Amino acid sequence: MNNFKAISGLMVEDNIDHAELMLDAFHEFNVKNAIDHVMDGEQAIVYLKNLPPYEDKERYSRPDIIFLDIRMPRQGGIETLKIIKKDTDLQDIPVVMISTSTTGPEIKECYRLGASGYVTKPLQFEEFSNKMAELNYYWVLTSELPK
């Protein structure tokens, strides 16, 4: 067991297999992490604003960090990022974009809109797990998150 501080996070990912891999990697690195999962950008905004069914602020507290997939149905990650960064109550939450894309203009756009990071999803589980552990290590041990 390690002594790392725990983070609370919100995972916004429409692919349940990808979400489970990310959640497993975060919990393997630090079992204390509390990461909630929603399936798209619309649900993320409802969660972040504590609207039904997420009105219980104790259970659905403000996350320390948001992991946001770019390509999702209904409302994609870039549109969701724009909404978060324009909202004065949410804009200071770090948002890490998660994507299979390595397209330069897309990455640049995410940073321009206020993303705190951009991580590509490798297809191999071990590589993916290592990348999530590195991401967790950075946010848990070296970064001060806004409260």
Which CATH number characterizes residue 115's domain?
3.40.50.2300
pLDDT exceeds 90 at position 37: yes
- Residue 78 inside a domain? The answer is yes
Q: Cα separation of 129 and 3, whole Å?
A: 20
Considering only CA atoms, which of 116, 131, 95, 118 is closest in space to residue 22?
Answer: 131
CA atoms within 13 A on the CB side of 63: 29
pLDDT at 113: 97
Give the global pTM: 0.85
Residue range(s) defining the domain that contains residue 12:
8-140
Provide the domain count of the chain.
Answer: 1
Helices (H), 49-114: 77-86, 104-112
